[in-house]
Structure 1
C-alpha cells in the first residue's frame, strides 16, 4: 500500500516520528533561495521536498483504488491491521 496525501497517492521516502512528519515524493515542494558560495558559485533557486504532518496522510488501498482508514483486530492472538474499504490485511 502507498500513502495518500491531500493531493494524490505517493511513496514515502522518510519518516520523522519525533516530529510527527513524513517526507512524501513529489508532495510539498518548496523553493529555497541560495547565495553564491565556494561550493555553489552560481547560487539561485533550489526546489526540494519538505515533510508534511502525519495527520494529513492516509493509506492508499490499491485493491479498492481509494484512500482507506485502518482498523485493528486480533487473528490467532496477534494484532493485525486491516484496510476498512477492502478488508485486506496490511503487512
Structure 2
C-alpha cells in the first residue's frame, strides 16, 4: 500500500480521475487530478487547467488573437463563442 503517497498513488489517482471523467463525474475527476497533481503529475496538472472553464475560454480567445495576428488582421474584436 502506498498510503496515498508516491508514484503508485500518483498513477492511481490519475487513472481514477480519467475513469471518473468518462463517467461524467467532473467534481470527482477534478479532486483526483488535484491529488495526482499535488504528487507531481504534470499530466494531472495539465488536465486541471483544461477542466477549468475560465482557462478554456482564455485559451480560445488567445488562440483567436494569435491566428488573427498571424494573418495580419486587427485583434480588437475577438469572438468568444466560436
TM-score interval, normalised by the smaller of the two chains: under 0.3
Give the alignment's TM-score, normalised by structure 1.
0.22
Q: Which of 1 and 2 has higher RCO (CA within 8 Å, sep 6+)?
A: 1
Could you say which structure has the larger radius of gyration?
1
Query: Between Structure 1 and Structure 2, which shows a larger proportion of helix residues?
Result: 2
Query: Between Structure 1 and Structure 2, which shows a larger proportion of strand residues?
Result: 1
Give the alignment's TM-score, normalised by structure 2.
0.23
